[in-house]
A and B are shown apart, each in its own frame.
Chain A
């Protein structure tokens, strides 16, 4: 119901932007959308498809409240959002107010995407990115086989940031706090969207900028329950559990296992570098996620890496070669024919070499193309067989 009212209010504003502008000339309404055409083929899964998709649409409302205070709202629609057809998703991505005391010190209050490495803040800003499919840690449409939310922080609520110059070098800093990832989305349980634990996400980034070089290191710390929930989810979805064929000793063993995965301490570390020289550019990021758990044969650590080499052919045409890789350790529950439960963990790797271009048709319209080869492999081929897929993408990104 809330979504419905929000949508109605939003539509009223967007249909009559001039009215809003007349009443308060400082209110700015702008945004962008990206339509995509995708062809993908996976030989191993005998799958081939072509599709059009409104990949992303964002609407921004911005108002300078006075010389030091600025407010900003970002509303996001993804994957051809339709509540009627139950497609895609609608998100209130950001709603914050910023106090700017000086270049050294800014303070943001409210729902926001925290600074982590180079891309996190702008991962959904499609006009800024040459990609159609983004580097894996930032590509929400790959959520089914990559733990996107585990690799980078998606939300914070208070953030202090800025930079201080020393000579020709600028030192960037950011520190933030937000909810732990243990957010309730189960309506009958209690209020949704709230943290069900007493822990917080804390994190930050420290970096430097010198001429066309930008580097930084990021870190976050929180306590996560999602692996425990994933295990229970696997259990509840199993035929064995639903048919009550599991013995009590096995169930007890599973609960003990899950108990060891409750509020696991998690540290994310990141490193980013970008460098431009004339028409050439390089950008790269490394992210590692470490969980502290007590299980003897399980490991949930995850790693992500990407590098992009770019060349600006003309002011309008940018081309790039890019390589992405993730390496995740996962846990699976195993239901034996006799109705017993066991668990095992394994390594899932995704590697994506890709090539692409973006062409600025005008200041506000960009056409993009991309070819990507996606290889998913695992050391547990019975659970996760190796697959190789080809993606050919094109997209039109429009700002308004």
Chain B
């Protein structure tokens, strides 16, 4: 009975949470620099949706349709391009890190390999079958596929 009273007394939290939840959906979305989602040429996709990209990076989807493993790369912290990529996924780096840690510590899935620079990301994605990563659109080479271009304020189209 005391537990029920206790829960009842916590009802004051509910309007706060609802206000935050509803208010959040009307806030304007952030703007992005041009980020290219790149993949190894062996990947059996030419285009990717944001929801699928999020599923890759959260470990919900781990294999391509042909059964081969999806190999993910991520940039080291504090790079601007990384922050823009995470904003696009609507996840903070710390939230994403906690998802990866949970996957790793429960034996489910490894986190993405961290690379130090966009140049290294490009090299790794080029050389690794099934790989996906992200770099500035200006740095993309012909050796990889572009699965998506994330919109920017000056160029709002995404491929």
* Residue positions of A touching B, CB distance < 8 A: 30, 32, 60, 62, 67, 70, 72, 74, 94, 96, 98, 100, 103, 121-122, 125, 127-128, 163, 168, 170, 211-212, 275-280, 282, 286, 303-305, 307, 309, 312, 315-316, 318, 323, 325-327, 347, 349, 351, 360, 363, 377, 399
Contacts and interface: CB of A to CB of B under 8 A. Distances in A.
Contact of B3 (A170, A276, A326, A363): A326
Contacts of A127: 101, 105
Nearest to B106: A121
A316 B77 CA distance: 12
Interface string B1-30: 111101100100100010011001000000
B47 interface: no
A168 B52 CA distance: 11
Interface residues of B, number: 33
Contacts of A103: 60-62
Nearest to B95: A276
Given A74-B107, A103-B60, A275-B21, 7 more contacts: A100-B62, A127-B101, A280-B20, A303-B4, A305-B3, A325-B7, A327-B3
A307 B68 CA distance: 41
Nearest to B99: A128
Interface in B40-70: 51, 60-63, 67, 69
Given A307-B13, A323-B6, A351-B6, A312 B107 contact: no
Contacts of B13: 282, 307, 309
A60 B2 contact: no
Q: Could you say which of A32, A94, A325 has the most chain B C-beta atoms within 10 Å of its C-beta?
A: A325
A277 B67 contact: no
Nearest to A126: B105
B3 A349 contact: yes
A279 B107 contact: no
Contacts of B92: 278-279, 312, 315
Nearest to B23: A277
Contacts of B2: 325, 327, 347, 349, 351, 377
B7 A305 contact: yes
A223 B67 CA distance: 42
Q: Could you say which of A94, A282, A318 has the most chain B C-beta atoms within 10 Å of its C-beta?
A: A282
A163 B108 CA distance: 14
A125 B105 contact: yes
A328 B144 CA distance: 61
A127 B19 CA distance: 31
A168 B17 CA distance: 22
Contacts of B106: 121-122, 125
Contacts of B51: 168
Given A122-B106, A170-B60, A276-B95, A67 B67 contact: yes
- Give me the 8 closest cross-chain CB pairs, A-B, nearest first: A72-B107, A327-B3, A125-B105, A325-B6, A303-B3, A349-B2, A325-B3, A277-B24
A98 B105 contact: no
Contacts of B95: 276
22 contacts: A30-B104, A60-B105, A62-B107, A70-B107, A72-B107, A74-B107, A96-B107, A98-B107, A163-B60, A211-B90, A275-B21, A277-B24, A303-B3, A312-B92, A316-B94, A318-B94, A325-B3, A325-B7, A326-B3, A327-B3, A363-B97, A399-B101
A304 B7 CA distance: 10
A377 B101 CA distance: 38
A30 B104 CA distance: 10
Contacts of A211: 90
B141 to A, nearest CB: 30
Contact of A128 (B7, B17, B102): B102
A308 to B, nearest CB: 10
Contacts of A351: 2, 6
B93 interface: yes
A323 to B, nearest CB: 6
Nearest to B1: A327
A30 B101 CA distance: 12
Contacts of B90: 211-212
Nearest to B101: A128
A278 B24 contact: yes
Nearest to B83: A315
Contacts of A60: 105, 107
A316 B94 CA distance: 8
B142 to A, nearest CB: 30
Contacts of A316: 94
Contact of B93 (A278, A315, A325, A349): A315
Contacts of B69: 67
Interface string B87-115: 00010111101100110111100000000
Contacts of B1: 327, 347
